[in-house]
Amino acid sequence: MLSRLVLGGLLAMLPLGHAALAQPGSTIPLPEPQGQTLLLQSVDRADYGPLAEQFLTQANLAYCGVASMVMVLNSLAVPAPVVAGYGSYRFWTQENVFMPESTRAVLSPELVARQGMTLQELRALLASHGLQARAIHGDRLSQAQFRLLLRSNLREPGDRLLVNYDRKALGQAGGGHISPVAAYHAPTDRVLILDVARYRYPSVWVPLADLWEAIRTTDSTSGRSRGVVVVRRL
């Protein structure tokens, strides 16, 4: 379990955000005292530390899935290629993540920059890096199943969970979005989303019921519901 001192340092690394939330009564920004208290009280937070250390902002408006993928790869210590200008230090970036031919065969960075990615494309991109990635569409999960999946994932340090959701269902402006989840607070039944669009919204605690509804919305590109991708190293 992370100590209070370590948590304080990691909390300071996350952005404050600029945009106000549309429903401040139901969502709680992590940087606010109440949001920090929820994290300190949370039992299911094994993914928070590794993800917070690798937190980054999406490079453009359509790169939420790419930024989320890079956070997952770095937080799971997946071997990365050389990064120009950093000598022997190796890590994944939003540029070199498309370096493998197997990854570009799934989706090109140019196409992602124009239209983003679907849930199944996110799964395939992660799998192209040798990860075990399983996509589950939201309409296949009951609320109880979603809660169980979240809690079991967030108790284990060796896996990650990405959510593909519609912002409007959370009272936010915008449409489809992808970000990692990092913690669950059982007493309030809330989930912590580390929002990779930090220029727009802060990392935020959202009611699980709202997030469940948000992942069940239809993606107009695929014609299927959004959902989650569960990721772990093979």
Q: How far is CA 10 from CA 49, 61, 153, 174, in A?
A: 7, 25, 20, 28
Q: Helical H runs in 47-93?
A: 48-53, 64-75
Instruction: Return the exposure string of 83-97: e unless at least 16 CB atoms fall within 10 Å of the residue's CB, then b.
Output: eeeeeeeebbbbebb
**Residue 110 CB neighbours (<10 A):** 9
User: What is the spatial distance between Cα 137 and Cα 70, in angstroms, rounded to a whole number?
Assistant: 22
Catalytic residue numbers read 64, 177, 195
Q: Which two tokens stand for residue 192?
A: 């912590």
Cross-strand pairs, 136: 228
- Of 161, 195, 177, 131, nearest to 47 by C-alpha is 161
